[in-house]
Amino acid sequence: NAGVTQTPKFQVLKTGQSMTLQCAQDMNHNSMYWYRQDPGMGLRLIYYSASEGTTDKGEVPNGYNVSRLNKREFSLRLESAAPSQTSVYFCATRQGHYGYTFGSGTRLTVV
């Protein structure tokens, strides 16, 4: 079992370019999440999806959009990348009642 798979692992974008970060889980969990990790800021919630067909904003949603394509997949889109979006992005799914299972992350650099 792969758990939570994120692609790509690394990406460099120019300011203004767009891209989609992919996340897929094989754990049959309903809830999925996108976080970003920045030095000194910890993990901050961008968007989440409580179940297939629903999405909601988290703490830092500006500049992002999401799609919950089906139960397995939850993608994060940057329509016009900015240097402030340079970060490590983590997708997660809820494990058990409270804990999360995280993917290995996507390291994004916007130049």
Partner 1 sequence: DQQVKQNSPSLSVQEGRISILNCDYTNSMFDYFLWYKKYPAEGPTFLISISSIKDKNEDGRFTVFLNKSAKHLSLHIVPSQPGDSAVYFCAARGDTGTASKLTFGTGTRLQVTL
Residues that bind partner 1 (CB under 8 A): 4, 30-31, 33, 35, 40-45, 48, 50-51, 56, 58, 90, 92, 94-95, 97-105
For 27, the token pair is 């754990």
DSSP-derived 3-state class of residue 84: helix
Closer residue to partner 1 in complex, CB, 59/79: 59
CB of 15 to partner 1, least distance (A): 26
Which residues pair with residue 65 across a beta bridge? 77
Dist CA 36 CA 62 (whole Å): 12
- Smallest separation (angstroms) from partner 1 to the CB of 60: 12
Neighbouring CB atoms inside 10 A of 99's CB total 9
Report in angstroms how near the CB of residue 95 gets to partner 1 at its nearest: 7
